Chains A and B, each alone.
Chain A
Amino acid sequence: MMRYTSFTSYDFILLAQGLGVSLALFLATTLIGLFVGTMWAIIRFYRVPVLTQFITFFAELLKNSPVLVQLFLVFFGLPALAKINITPVEAAVITLSGNTAAFIYVIAVSAIESIGRDQIESARVFGLSRWQVLRHVIAPQAVAFAIGPLTGLLVNQLQVTSLISVIGVVDLTKIGNILNLRTLKPFIVWTVVGGLYYVTAKLIAYGGARLEQRLRAHTAWKGL
């Protein structure tokens, strides 16, 4: 009888595919989360009544509950409640984007608040509209301020993507599960999977640090 328990060269392709799925979902949900979270922060900046309070409460709820439960709510709960079909990937995109947005909202709010009131007031006195102040005074400085905490958040969110394997998305962790069950060599499999996550996290951190350096270059002392 043939036994498929040993590692084959095809397993590298499987791992690469899993990593690709993890990265693609990470990038997509980061972009959506960035957009949504920033929108929420802008709504707060304009002090839209009711909506601002609702967003603050919703973001707190997302930040203070397990992502696994949020995933279950979207993947198992929403189809039962609304009689719709949701694929694992859709559930993953919805949940991870919402979760990222909640944390980005907090970072964006503190980045906006990090800019002194005097700057905003003098810009207003010069006749700039609230949007112009946001666009030309706050945004450039807030982005430079936010990039540090943002890098930390993204390193964390990459790890959070591993949870989508539980609802059946074939990401890097799911590939690890498959290889683990087939080869029964847990130490090798999970060390390789962990190593891939580690290297990716380090690359994100490195990219963030480089970007921060560039964005803060104008504040650095250039010498006389």
Chain B
Amino acid sequence: MTFDVTILAPHVPFLLKGALLTAEACALALAGSLVIGLIVAALRTSSSVILSRAAFIYVDLFRNIPFIVQLFFFFYGLPEIGIYIDAFTTGVIALSIAGGAFSSDVIRSGILAIDTGILEAAEVSGLSRSVIFRKIVMPIALRTSIRPLGSVFINLVLTSSILSTITLNELTGSAKIVASDTFRPFEVYAVLLIVYASLTYLVSLAIGALHRHLNRDRMPEVA
């Protein structure tokens, strides 16, 4: 058999629909994991021993258990306790929870890297703790951790391919259908591999630009 990519041309619209679903899931999961990551990072750096301990256990568990096991836990487990949601929502929830564990680690080190002088100055100025966190800690921590957050997001995009195992026809799921329709699995998956690699490359370029933009005033000392 020869290598012929043109065989895929009629299936491009179908694959694009799958890619769109992947993009939607990743965008929602990115938002979800950022929210979870911020809350968990705040808990882990809080002065309460119980809260930081609980946050640590969450991060430790979800970082050390394979995503596919977590996904099956939610996909098969939730209906058992009477929660019926579709595969897409389950996938986004599972991705957000797993991504939240990774991004909380990144945000936490961003928080710990903040100069304590800034925080002391804010306290002395009489700002409340929630204002200090929302207006000072969060912007600085997020700004400095854009790059590592970017790699978490790229991993999220790659991990989203696992959602195809719970009957969700995102990019990889659609490709599986095209591969069995055309009997040309090599062409399909080779193209898919290149597509994912180019996608994550574009994302990493965008993150680099965002990082430079957000940290433009600190460029001399960073470089």
Identify which of A69, A186, A202 contacts B193 (C-beta below 8 A): A69
Identify which of B65, B184, B188 contacts A194 (C-beta below 8 A): B65
Q: Are B189 and A77 in touch, CB under 8 angstroms?
A: yes
B residues 116-132 in Cβ contact with A at 8 Å: none
A residues 75-122 in Cβ contact with B at 8 Å: 76-78, 80-81, 83
With an 8 Å Cβ cutoff, the count of chain A residues facing the other chain is 42
> Is A173 in contact with chain B by the CB < 8 A criterion?
yes
Q: Are A68 and B172 in touch, CB under 8 angstroms?
A: yes
Identify which of B1, B77, B190 contacts A83 (C-beta below 8 A): B1
A60-B197 in contact given A180-B72, A197-B65 (Cβ < 8 Å): yes
Interface of chain B: mostly helix, strand, loop or mixed: helix
Q: Smallest distance from the beta carbon of A195 to chain B beta carbons, Å?
A: 8
Closest to B163 in A: A68
A residues 146-187 in Cβ contact with B at 8 Å: 155, 158-163, 165-166, 173, 176-177, 180, 184-187
> Is B109 in contact with chain A by the CB < 8 A criterion?
no
Q: Are A194 and B80 in touch, CB under 8 angstroms?
A: no
Give A151 to B112 CA distance when docked, in angstroms.
24
B residues 156-183 in Cβ contact with A at 8 Å: 158-159, 161-162, 164-165, 172, 175-176, 179, 183
Give A60 to B197 CA distance when docked, in angstroms.
8
* A-B CB contacts (within 8 Å), total count: 129
- Chain A residue numbers with a CB within 8 Å of B190 are 73, 77
> Is B10 in contact with chain A by the CB < 8 A criterion?
no
With an 8 Å Cβ cutoff, the count of chain B residues facing the other chain is 42
Q: Are A173 and B69 in touch, CB under 8 angstroms?
A: yes
Q: Are B72 and A176 in touch, CB under 8 angstroms?
A: yes
> Is B47 in contact with chain A by the CB < 8 A criterion?
no
Q: Are B64 and A66 in touch, CB under 8 angstroms?
A: no
Q: Smallest distance from the beta carbon of A93 to chain B beta carbons, Å?
A: 18
- Chain B residue numbers with a CB within 8 Å of A191 are 73
Give A32 to B194 CA distance when docked, in angstroms.
25
Closest to A185 in B: B80
> Is A23 in contact with chain B by the CB < 8 A criterion?
no
Identify which of A64, A76, A166, A201 contacts B179 (C-beta below 8 A): A76
Residues of B within 8 A of A (CB): 1, 3, 61, 64-70, 72-73, 76-77, 80-81, 154, 158-159, 161-162, 164-165, 172, 175-176, 179, 183-190, 192-194, 196-197, 200-201
A-B contact pairs, 11 of them (CB 8 A): A61-B194, A64-B197, A66-B161, A68-B172, A80-B186, A176-B69, A190-B77, A194-B61, A194-B70, A194-B73, A198-B64
